Amino acid sequence: MALQPSLRPLLIAGRADAPHTLDIFLDYVCPFSGKISVTIDKILKPWVETGGPYDGKIKIIFRNQVQPWHGSSTFTHEAGLAVVRITPEKFWPFSRLLFHRQGDYYDIPTSTLTPVQIREKLASLYAESGVTREEVEAFKDLLTNKSTPNGGVSVTDDLKYTIKFSRQNGVHVSPSVLWDGLLANEISSSWGEPEWKLFLAQKVTV
């Protein structure tokens, strides 16, 4: 599947020219997305990267799946997209850290926080990713409302792209997975190595 140039870092594993594509739609404040993020890290990424059995055959693309019934979902995805702009190589490590700490951004913990406070909290999390003070300040700047009264922040257009991509593909919840552009509804966040091994053995044709 395609990615606009500014979002190429969302390709988190595999070669860009790999013929098969796993588009994995995840929400940072969804516990099931958090669960499958561990599977991506421990099972799928090693399989598609250099030396793995699917090296050169499969690429994995992270798809931001904003779920607006979770109040902080938009803010967490803005944060991920800001990292893409500033330190693209840290996008997946930051995402994994955010998934690990996702409980801090659930509905009740954030219910008494303003948008500015939530973004400050995300900036502190970004600072834990081994970035410089200047990079943290750049992160904060990207997440500051500074245009028209209803114009959003500097990564709003990127956020719109990811939401439109989900909508046009009929993706409504996370985690959802596309295999070569089609929804693979059988895939579950509970899948481990045996289920993924069987699925890929049946699907990979190159």
> What pLDDT score was predicted for residue 206?
83
Options 2.60.120.560, 3.40.30.10, 3.40.120.10, 2.30.30.100; CATH of 5-203? 3.40.30.10
Q: In which residue are the tokens 């940072």 written?
A: 28
> What pLDDT score was predicted for residue 1?
59
**What is the distance between the alpha carbons of residues 176 and 24, in angstroms, rounded to a whole number?**
6
Task: Classify 20 as helix, strand or coil.
Answer: strand
At 165-190, the pLDDT tens digits run 999 999 999 999 999 999 999 999 99
| Chain centre distance of CA 142 | 18
Task: Classify 77 as helix, strand or coil.
Answer: helix
* Nearest to 23, CA basis, from 71, 65, 53, 55: 65
* Phi/psi at 176 (5° precision): -125, 150
Number of H helices, E strands in the chain: 9, 5
pLDDT, tens digit only, all 206 positions of the chain? 588 999 999 999 999 999 999 999 999 999 999 999 999 999 999 999 999 999 999 999 999 999 999 999 999 999 999 999 999 999 999 999 999 999 999 999 999 999 999 999 999 999 999 999 999 999 999 999 987 899 999 999 999 999 999 999 999 999 999 999 999 999 999 999 999 999 999 999 88
Q: Where are the domains of the chain?
A: 5-203
> What pLDDT score was predicted for residue 96?
98
Q: Which two tokens stand for residue 164?
A: 């439109």
* Phi/psi at 155 (5° precision): -105, 10
**What is the distance between the alpha carbons of residues 189 and 204, in angstroms, rounded to a whole number?**
20
**What are the DSSP calls for 153-192, one per residue?**
-TTHHHHHHHHHHHHHTT--SSSEEEETTEE-TT--TT--
* Nearest to 27, CA basis, from 16, 14, 36, 18: 36
Q: In which residue are the tokens 């190595």 written?
A: 193
> What pLDDT score was predicted for residue 71?
94
> What pLDDT score was predicted for residue 20?
97
Q: Which two tokens stand for residue 138?
A: 């750049």
